[in-house]
Amino acid sequence: MSNNETDLTTGFISSSVAILLFGSNYVPLKKYNTGDGMFLQWVLCAAIWSVALVTNLILRCPKFWPFAMVGGCIWATGNIAVVPIIKTIGLGLGLLIWGSFNALIGWASSRFGWFGMDAEEVSKPLLNYFGAGLSVVSAFIFLFIKSEIPNNMCSVDTTPLMAEHVINKTQDPCPGYFWVDKLSTVQSRIVGCSLAVISGILYGSTFVPIIYIKDHGKRNDSIYAGASQYDLDYVFAHSSGIFLTSTVYFLAYCITMKNNPKLHPEAVLPGSRICSCNVECLHI
């Protein structure tokens, strides 16, 4: 078997594993209260960085390229919208929408050489464009799929008949809820689909810095000359960008909440499953 055939086989196997992991990593979270998702996203990113650290040590600490962290920043930015997306349009529809736009941005950026990357040549351009066209059509069809999401609006029926009077303290009429729970059905639809599209675009751009470094590493006149062509050598830098960005977002959230963030410890363990998906995707 030639090297090209081996690489193709490895790519398809890795893609299959990544599809399985990415398609199921958020399923356990549906059983737990994740609140507004800010604490959850920080836990996920911390788990990703932990796995990346171990991977980096196994690889004997390859050269760290700071520019690869930009991709992690992009991924973490898209990741903070996951919980609002699930709460507004559901996990299934959310995955379909952000996955479609993820694929389209990834295809277009590599096919046409966006963002300074080398354009990828294909043996059968007509079939390539036809497949991309089907993805575009399906992405817009997904936007019109109706999803049944339980109504989380506060109900007066749940208000206790007698409540203890507390002086100088405002009671939250909807404890455990956050802003997306108070949206109407139409508003939830618009917000959820919009966030899913934005997240998909960001997810599709997350590996651009790594590919840029690899492409320019083949050029002697580039500052990245001699950069590794092995994807896993960039896992730690990419994941460091993820963890750093998520930490900044979480600190900003804590400040906004006046040091009273909504924490949900029960979601920590199931939320940590996502860490393996990021590393597997890099291996593709």
Q: How many CB atoms lie within 10 A of CB 206?
A: 27
The string of pLDDT tens digits covering residues 56-105 is 999 999 999 999 999 999 999 998 988 888 888 887 888 888 888 998 99
The string of pLDDT tens digits covering residues 134-160 is 888 888 888 777 766 655 545 444 444
Name the residue among 32, 34, 140 with its Cα closest to residue 82: 34
Percent of the chain predicted with pLDDT > 90:
29
Q: Which long-range contacts (CB under 8 A, 24 or more apart) does 221-226 make?
A: 224/65, 224/67
In one-letter notation, the amino acid at residue 84 is P
Residue 117 placed within a domain? yes
Residue 163 placed within a domain? no
Residue 165 placed within a domain? no
The string of pLDDT tens digits covering residues 6-24 is 777 877 787 788 777 776 7
Task: Give me the residue label for tokens 């295809």.
Answer: 107
Residue 34 placed within a domain? yes
Structure tokens, 12: 């398809």
Averaged confidence pLDDT in the chain: 80
Residue 156 placed within a domain? no
Residue 75 placed within a domain? yes
Please give the tally of structural domains in the chain.
Answer: 1
pLDDT over 50 (residue 124): yes
Residue 160 placed within a domain? no
What pLDDT was estimated at residue 174? 53
175 Rama class: left (phi>0) / alpha (psi -120 to 50) / beta: beta
Q: How far apart are CA 92 and CA 145, in angstroms?
A: 10
Instruction: Annotate 150-189 with b (16+ C-beta within 10 A) or e (fewer).
Output: eebeeeeeeeeeeeeeeeeeeeeeeeebbebbebeeeebb
What pLDDT was estimated at residue 201? 94
| pLDDT bucket at 207, cuts 50 / 70 / 90 | very high
- Does the predicted model carry a pTM greater than 0.85? no
| Residue range of the domain that includes 224 | 8-147+177-283
What is the DSSP-derived secondary structure letter of residue 94?
H
Residue 154 placed within a domain? no
| pLDDT bucket at 277, cuts 50 / 70 / 90 | low
What pLDDT was estimated at residue 139? 80
The string of pLDDT tens digits covering residues 223-252 is 999 999 998 899 999 999 999 999 999 999
